[in-house]
Structure formats: structure tokens, C-alpha cells
Amino acid sequence: MKLSNLTTFCWLFAGMIQIGPIQGQTPTAPEMKLPEIQAAWETYSKNIAAVRTARDARLAEISRSYVGTLERLQRDISTGGDISAVAAVKAEIERTAAKREPTGDERKSMPGKLVPARRAYERECEPIIANAARQEEEQTRNYISSLEAAKRRLTTLNRIDEATQIKETIDQLLQEAAFARIAGTWMVKYANGTDRQYTIDIKGTVTWGGTTGKLILNGKDVLIDFNDGKIERVTRTAAGLLIEHFNPKSAYPKKVDTRGTGIKA
């Protein structure tokens, strides 16, 4: 059964919560200049900006407090003469200032005293980010509802070209939400023993080992296609990515050849 645009949107936002002070992707303004579309867009963009401003202000407070904790920890560790631990805390201070998440390797190398401080920081950030994500989801759902209503009205009036343009705007919104969820650099390990490092951008380009592919949004599924006769389905999880490999491509979606998991590099 074909999913409605709003149902698809809800699927795409499920499990999107990320930990750490990150910036949301800027919504794409519609090209159409119809009054009702412009009014809906202006309300949407204003509300999204307000949600993100409030989120970022609260996260900035938490980050400042965390940096203070790190500076005290750095002084405490330095009295013991552990140079490598001092350097690790310094690196965490710089990452926090740059709003950059630690990679998997950086997390593994954190000294014992830094780990609980980082976890406490993430626990404090998590509800702020989760609440903002829910508010953005609600605003985007309302915006899509407005676009859907305008599309139906224009279709009834036989203004098919304009209705088609609105549909394309909705499809672009859904694609942006899907691709933003999995953008980044990922270390992928497959059950068959192979591994890859995927780099995925928000435009849907996927690269690994000199090979370039693309993301495809198929209903609620996000697929990776390297045009090599195979295809992969990518699902965002709390731990990272779940990747299902189909070989040949025609085996999708019923027969998975192998599975892999991805963690941020």
C-alpha cells in the first residue's frame, strides 16, 4: 500500500534524535510565488528559526558549563602529571567549542575521568535536542499539510502545472529529511567480514574507496545505489546505521544478501 506524504514524513523522523549540539539543516525555500504557499513558507521558516534559536541558546549554556567542568578536570589531572590525559581533555574542550561530536576512536581514547563527564553532558543535552526535534517535526508536518491542501485546490481548479510544482516541493522536503538523517562519515562492518567507510552528504552523494553512488528515497526506504547491479537499504538507528545489502538489485526488498552496521567515523 502506498504511504501518504505525511505518513512517510513521520517514518523519516522516527528515531532522528542525535546527541550533541548540532545545527539543523536549513529548510529549502519553495520556488513558487503563490500567495498561500508563500504565507505557509514564511510561517514555517519563522517557526523553525525560533525553535532552533531556543535550542541553541540552551545548548550553549550547557556547553559552557561542560567546558568549565573540563577545565577543572584538566587542572586536577595535570597535578598528577598524566600528560596524555591532559591532552585528551584539552581536545574535548576544543571539540565542544567547535560543536563537533567525538568520533568512535576519540571516544575510545578518552581517559577514565573524562568518560563520566562526557556522558553527563550528553544526558543533559539529549532532552533539549529531542524536544527541538519534536517541535521541528510538528512544524514541518503542518507545512506539508498546507502544501497538500494547496495542491488539492489547484488540482480541482485544473491548474495541474502548479499542483505538480507543489508536489515536487513536498517530495524535496521528504528527501531532505531522509538524507539529513544519515549524512556523515560512517565505518560500516558487514556480517560477511567486509568493511567500508561511507561518506554521505545531505545532497545524497555517497562515496567510498573511490566509488561514487547516490541515495534514493523509495517510500519510507532510503537506498544506496552504486549502479553496480546491487543496492542497499539504510536505516538510522540509535546506535548508528543498519545496512541491508541486496545482490542482485532485483532481490530488494525481500531477500537480504548480508547486513552491516555503521558507526560514526
pLDDT digit string (tens) for 210-247?
Answer: 999 999 999 889 999 999 999 999 999 878 899 999 99
DSSP 8-state code for residue 257: S
Write down the pLDDT at residue 253. Answer: 96
Same domain, 174 and 196: no
Which of the listed residues 161, 181, 201 is the one where a domain comes to its end? 181
Tell me, yes or no, whether 169 and 215 share the same domain.
Answer: no
Q: How far apart are CA 243 and CA 234, in angstroms?
A: 5
Same domain for 70 and 171: yes
Model confidence at 257, pLDDT cuts 50, 70, 90, reads very high
Grid coordinates given for 215: 541515495
**Residues 92, 4: one domain?**
yes
**Predicted confidence band of residue 154 (pLDDT cuts 50, 70, 90):** very high
Same domain, yes or no, for 91 and 159? yes
Q: What is the pLDDT of residue 89?
A: 95
Please compute Rg for the chain using Cα positions. Answer: 22
Q: Which spans in the chain are helix H?
A: 5-13, 35-78, 83-97, 104-108, 114-156, 160-182
Phi, psi of 117 (to 5 degrees): -65, -40
Q: Note the pLDDT tens digit of each residue in 29-62.
A: 776 677 778 888 899 999 999 999 999 999 999 9
Q: Which of 10-19, 30-39, 98-107, 170-179 has the lowest mean pLDDT?
A: 10-19
Whole-number pLDDT of residue 28: 66
User: 3-state DSSP call for residue 110?
Assistant: coil
Residues 41 and 99 placed together within one structural domain of the fold: yes
**Strand pairing of 184-190 and 258-264?**
antiparallel
Q: Same domain, yes or no, for 45 and 149?
A: yes
- Dihedral angle computed from the Cα positions of residues 20, 124, 26 and 196, in that order, rounded to the nearest 10 degrees: 30
Burial label for 35, CB within 10 Å (0-12, 13-18, 19+), is exposed
Classify residue 233 by its DSSP letter.
E
Could you say which DSSP state residue 250 is in?
A: G
State yes or no: pLDDT of 21 exceeds 50: no
- The verdict on 126 and 210 lying in the same domain is no
Q: What is the mean pLDDT of residues 159-170?
A: 90
Task: Note whether 90 and 19 are same-domain residues.
Answer: yes
Last residue of a domain, one of 121, 147, 181: 181
Q: Residues of the chain with pLDDT > 70: what percent?
A: 88
Pick the more confident residue, 80 or 3: 80
pLDDT digits (tens, 9 = 90+) for 65-99: 999 999 999 999 999 889 999 999 999 999 999 98
Q: Are residues 21 and 62 in the same domain?
A: yes
pLDDT band at 9 (very low <50, low <70, confident <90, very high): very low
Of 10 and 30, the structure prediction assigns the larger pLDDT to 30
- pTM here is 0.68
Cα 45 from Cα 142, distance rounded (Å): 12
Domain total of the chain: 2
What is the average pLDDT across 252-259? 96
Reading the block at residue 81, the C-alpha cell is 602529571
Do 170 and 192 share a domain, yes or no?
A: no
Domain that holds residue 201: 184-264
Same domain, 224 and 98: no
The last residue of a domain, from among 123, 148, 181: 181
